[in-house]
């Protein structure tokens, strides 16, 4: 930290600064202030005025130029799970505090000190940030790994921005009471506040000059890493190659970027890299990293307890800004308050339950009990008919096997249901669990329930195919060929005299709940309709990523006997068609910005592999002279 530059900056910003003012502003003793003023005067950096104040000279301004801040990088890619349901609609950094969005407050504060080169790293709901380009002339940088990796990856993707010069590194969801940014910064620093008692924050130890000497996760009565960061260009140039090496190491996906600094300053980075076989980092031998050599200085920037805020959850935000107690301007919170007849302030213990493939859900407490609120995901209105879903819940009510639904909106699909304490999902790896699930499915099918709509797999495949084509196309190279195979399967299935009854369709293990009293519930009926009941066995198999032996076992368990060749062929056909259908579904959802990893590939492989298995059944029957399966096939898969 260049204290002479800091003296010049303080005098420049405060205009009428005495030595006593300097001591107070710089948080140093009067004696140290007197010494620094003398040194700066002797070097011609400042000059005394007649009234006892000082002014910065041309030499002082030349010195400061090396410390000019070149820009800011703002991290805004994450989801903000602890702020649901607000962040289902709005990224955390765009939430308002006292009527001003947190990220806009920081941009405004940066502009006040002349910093206008601002890059925002976006990910979740990235489109929400687009308006900032026009309003503040910022740049947006998309982090494609925002949903699977932590801030180490974020900084890796934005490393070229930090390399450009002296840069602030900020979080979009920080709130600073007073503007703590400057046109000039005289050394690299990390903002810090004091935490009394036990804390899980990252605790700092530092010397008398404020240089950070070690970092520990958790501690007591400590100054902790909290809020903005400033990094000089030469600091970033040495740090970023190490961070880049960490990025490529297995097991670092969920690291914060600060973890790299922690291990450097604590002297453990060298061992981690060496153990991974890394011998050099940007031309520097790993042996030349700490503890063998000192690391570039990073200083603590101590702030008062009411200056910097990192809101951990909605409860903290409610305490800070009373608006959020009863007027969050969030549709889900307003709905819950209306359904239970309570103010929003009595909705508490809110946690993200699922930000999933079709819906988003959060858990909350109200009136002394816990409940789940389901919010339909983006684009779901095209995929799910909520009127039909409501009809299904009415039809199965007499079986007493679903979740207890307190509220259901037939128009938009919002649902509030009771949360079962101590319940667990079925385990697809547990045969006893899955045997119980098959019994429940069979009970539903044998009840011969009726609803006015069908689940028509041909119509659904056509529907998803058209959605995909209108949202960027279908990426599979052999799609036309495989689509023809699926049509063959459907044509033959349509010609069979198969029973039609209310089927769940979405019979994934997670939708089966074992309650503490050993009873079993089947939840989430939004895809349900009249269909061949064998489709539920097939869907359960592919959702569980079962192989052929496991699929056969599931069918035998459902039927309570060995399926005959025709039954096995029908189930295999639905496995193929289900895989094909959900592969298209995932392609469409990916086009909307959601990512499913290898799910799309797995589903598409089910379509191709089980088409071949149906052919194998036919060929086997032909060779043995036994009764042929009900689904003859054409050209085999090469």
CA angle 613–619–625, rounded 5-degree value: 135
Look up residue 249 and give its two tokens: 């190491």
pLDDT given at position 617: 86
Q: In angstroms, rounded to a whole number, what is the distance separating the alpha carbons of residues 253 and 33?
A: 46
pLDDT given at position 15: 73
Mean pLDDT of the chain: 91
pLDDT (tens digit per residue) in 378-434:
667 667 899 999 999 999 999 999 999 999 999 888 999 999 999 999 999 999 999
Q: In angstroms, rounded to a whole number, what is the distance separating the alpha carbons of residues 230 and 536?
A: 56
Q: Can you tell me whether residue 341 is helix, strand or coil? A: coil
Mean pLDDT over 365-374 rounds to 93
User: 3-state DSSP helix/strand/coil percent for the chain, to nearest 5?
Assistant: 45, 20, 35
Residue 183 has pLDDT above 90, yes or no: yes
Strand-pairing partners, residue 371, are 364, 418
Burial status of residue 531 (CB atoms within 10 A of its CB: 0-12, 13-18, 19 or more): buried
**Beta carbons of 507 and 441 less than 8 angstroms apart:** yes
**Band (611; pLDDT cuts 50, 70, 90):** very high
**Band (625; pLDDT cuts 50, 70, 90):** low
Residue 200 has pLDDT above 90, yes or no: yes
pLDDT given at position 631: 42
Mean pLDDT over 300-315 rounds to 91
Residue 53 has pLDDT above 90, yes or no: no
Nearest to 154 by CA among 72, 246, 56, 256: 256
Q: In angstroms, rounded to a whole number, what is the distance separating the alpha carbons of residues 229 and 166?
A: 11
Mean pLDDT over 123-139 rounds to 94
Residue 629 has pLDDT above 60, yes or no: no
pLDDT given at position 171: 96
77-81, 255-259, 549-553: lowest mean pLDDT where?
Answer: 77-81
pLDDT (tens digit per residue) in 443-468:
999 999 999 999 999 999 999 999 99
Q: Can you tell me whether residue 480 is helix, strand or coil? A: helix
Residue 319 has pLDDT above 80, yes or no: yes
**Beta carbons of 90 and 125 less than 8 angstroms apart:** yes
pLDDT given at position 314: 87
Look up residue 518 and give its two tokens: 């050993």
Residue 25 has pLDDT above 90, yes or no: no
pLDDT given at position 636: 34
Residue 592 has pLDDT above 50, yes or no: yes
**Beta carbons of 76 and 103 less than 8 angstroms apart:** yes
DSSP letters spanning 108-126: HHHHHTT---EEEEEBTBG
Mean pLDDT over 183-208 rounds to 94
Query: What is the bridge-based pairing of β-strands 71-76 and 167-171?
Result: parallel
**Beta carbons of 122 and 143 less than 8 angstroms apart:** yes
Residue 567 has pLDDT above 60, yes or no: yes
Mean pLDDT over 240-266 rounds to 94
**Band (634; pLDDT cuts 50, 70, 90):** very low
Q: What is the pTM of this model?
A: 0.80
14-28, 138-152, 269-283, 486-500: lowest mean pLDDT where?
Answer: 14-28
């Amino acid at each position: 930290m260049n204290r002479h530059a800091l003296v010049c900056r303080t005098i420049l910003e405060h205009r009428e600064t005495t030595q006593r003012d300097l001591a107070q502003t710089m948080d140093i003793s009067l004696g140290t202030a007197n010494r620094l003023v003398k040194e700066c005067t002797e070097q011609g950096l400042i000059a005394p005025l007649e009234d006892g104040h000082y002014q910065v000279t041309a030499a002082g301004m030349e010195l400061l130029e090396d410390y000019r801040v070149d820009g800011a990088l703002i991290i805004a890619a994450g989801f903000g799970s602890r702020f649901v349901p607000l962040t289902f609609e709005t990224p955390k950094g765009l939430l308002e505090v006292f009527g001003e969005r947190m990220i806009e407050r920081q941009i405004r504060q940066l502009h006040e000190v002349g910093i206008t080169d601002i890059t925002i790293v976006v990910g979740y709901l990235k489109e929400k940030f687009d308006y900032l380009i026009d309003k503040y002339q910022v740049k947006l940088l998309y982090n494609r790994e925002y949903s699977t990796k932590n801030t180490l990856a974020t900084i890796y993707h934005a490393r070229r921005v930090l390399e450009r010069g002296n840069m602030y590194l900020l979080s979009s969801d920080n709130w600073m009471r007073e503007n703590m940014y400057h046109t000039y910064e005289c050394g690299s620093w990390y903002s810090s506040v004091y935490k009394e008692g036990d804390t899980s924050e990252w605790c700092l130890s530092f010397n008398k000059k404020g240089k950070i000497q070690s970092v520990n996760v958790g501690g007591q009565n400590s100054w902790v890493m909290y809020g903005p960061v400033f990094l000089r260009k030469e600091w970033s140039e040495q740090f970023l190659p190490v961070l880049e090496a960490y990025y490529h190491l297995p097991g670092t996906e969920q690291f914060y970027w600060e973890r790299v600094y922690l291990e450097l300053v604590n002297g453990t980075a060298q061992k981690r890299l060496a153990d991974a076989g890394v011998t050099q980092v940007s031309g520097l031998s790993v042996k030349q990293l700490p503890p063998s050599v000192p690391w570039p200085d990073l200083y603590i920037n101590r702030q008062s307890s009411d200056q910097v805020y990192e809101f951990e959850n909605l409860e903290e935000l409610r305490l800070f800004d009373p608006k959020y107690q009863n007027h969050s301007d969030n549709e889900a919170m307003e709905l819950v308050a209306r359904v239970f007849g309570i103010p929003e302030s009595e909705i508490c213990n809110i946690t993200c339950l699922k930000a999933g493939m079709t819906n988003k859900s959060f858990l909350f407490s109200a009136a002394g009990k816990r409940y789940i609120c389901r919010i339909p995901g983006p684009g779901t209105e095209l995929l799910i008919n909520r009127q039909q879903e409501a009809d299904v819940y009415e039809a199965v009510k007499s079986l007493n096997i679903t979740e207890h639904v307190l509220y259901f909106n037939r128009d938009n699909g919002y649902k509030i249901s009771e949360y079962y304490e101590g319940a667990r999902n079925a385990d697809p790896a547990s045969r006893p669990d899955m045997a119980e699930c098959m019994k429940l499915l069979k009970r539903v099918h044998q009840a011969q329930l009726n609803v006015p709509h069908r689940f028509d797999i041909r119509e659904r495949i056509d529907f998803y195919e058209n959605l995909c084509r209108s949202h960027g196309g279908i990426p599979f190279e052999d799609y036309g060929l495989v689509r023809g195979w699926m049509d063959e399967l459907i044509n033959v299935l349509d010609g069979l005299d198969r029973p039609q009854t209310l089927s769940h369709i979405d019979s994934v293990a997670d939708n089966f709940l074992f309650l503490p009293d050993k009873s079993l519930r089947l939840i989430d009926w939004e895809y349900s309709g009249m269909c061949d009941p064998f489709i539920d066995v097939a869907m359960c198999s592919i959702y569980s990523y079962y192989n052929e032996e496991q699929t056969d076992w599931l069918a035998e368990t459902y039927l309570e006997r060995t399926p005959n060749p025709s039954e096995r062929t029908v189930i295999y056909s639905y496995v193929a068609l289900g895989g094909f259908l959900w592969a298209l579904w995932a392609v469409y959802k990916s086009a909307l910005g959601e990512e499913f990893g290898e799910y799309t590939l797995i589903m598409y492989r089910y379509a191709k592999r089980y088409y071949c298995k149906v052919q194998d059944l036919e060929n086997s029957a032909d060779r043995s002279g036994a009764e042929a399966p009900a689904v003859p096939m054409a050209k085999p898969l090469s």
